[in-house]
Chains A and B, each alone.
Chain A
């Protein structure tokens, strides 16, 4: 089984700050990684697929990068509506989620 480790588990940042979340796979998953946003009380929403491709309609302040075992998710300028928990998910071998990163406003 492939394990996905996200860090940090939570963070607090100011509006306009750059926010970075990392996701590490227990083995090489090439670029087979997605990122989801889950707002409180809502279902997750796919933001980025194939490690770096933005879903249609997703603001360009969201960015994904990486390959192999190390991946990064970045919000270039945090907005109040970005308050959510973010999850990475691999699909090299079935599907596995990371533990999530809760993003709050300072």
Chain B
């Protein structure tokens, strides 16, 4: 059974870059899509983007200029960088694995990131 675990700083200053890692255990990273999704407190889900194991990416157009995703299969890591953050980027951030481009099949437990000085 695959497990996904998000990790990274819980507090980021405005204008800085948010960096998170998703560590994958119990399964291979190959032949899967890897996504990041976020959820502000009390609000809905927002898909940030995804990466396929080949390195190809798709980003949410509303965030495209600020988002970078990468994968390191040697470390079983999938990472997110979100630049120039503001308070509006405060949210629980989830990573997820997909077998296809269609759905988000397995999720991490999420990690709260607060943007504040």
What residues of chain A have their CB less than 8 Å away from a CB belonging to chain B? 1, 32, 34, 36, 38, 42-46, 49-50, 87, 89, 91, 94-100
How extensive is the interface on chain B, given as a class? 20 to 34
Given contacts A1-B61, A94-B60, contact A46 B45 (CB under 8 A): no
Give the tally of cross-chain contacts (CB within 8 A). 51
The 3 A-B residue pairs with the shortest CB-CB distance, nearest first, are A43-B107, A95-B47, A97-B45
Instruction: Describe A's contact surface by its main secondary structure.
Output: loop
- Expressed in whole angstroms, the Cα–Cα distance for A34 and B35 within the complex equals 16
Residue of B with least CB distance to A38 = B45
- Expressed in whole angstroms, the Cα–Cα distance for A89 and B50 within the complex equals 15
Chain B residues near A98 (CB-CB < 8 A): 44
B47 touches A96 (CB 8 A): yes
Chain A residues near B101 (CB-CB < 8 A): 91
28 inter-chain pairs at a CB distance below 8 angstroms, sorted by A residue, are: A1-B61, A34-B102, A36-B104, A38-B45, A43-B94, A43-B107, A43-B108, A43-B109, A43-B110, A44-B94, A44-B104, A44-B107, A46-B103, A49-B103, A50-B102, A87-B45, A89-B45, A89-B47, A89-B104, A94-B47, A94-B58, A95-B47, A95-B50, A97-B44, A97-B45, A97-B46, A97-B47, A98-B44
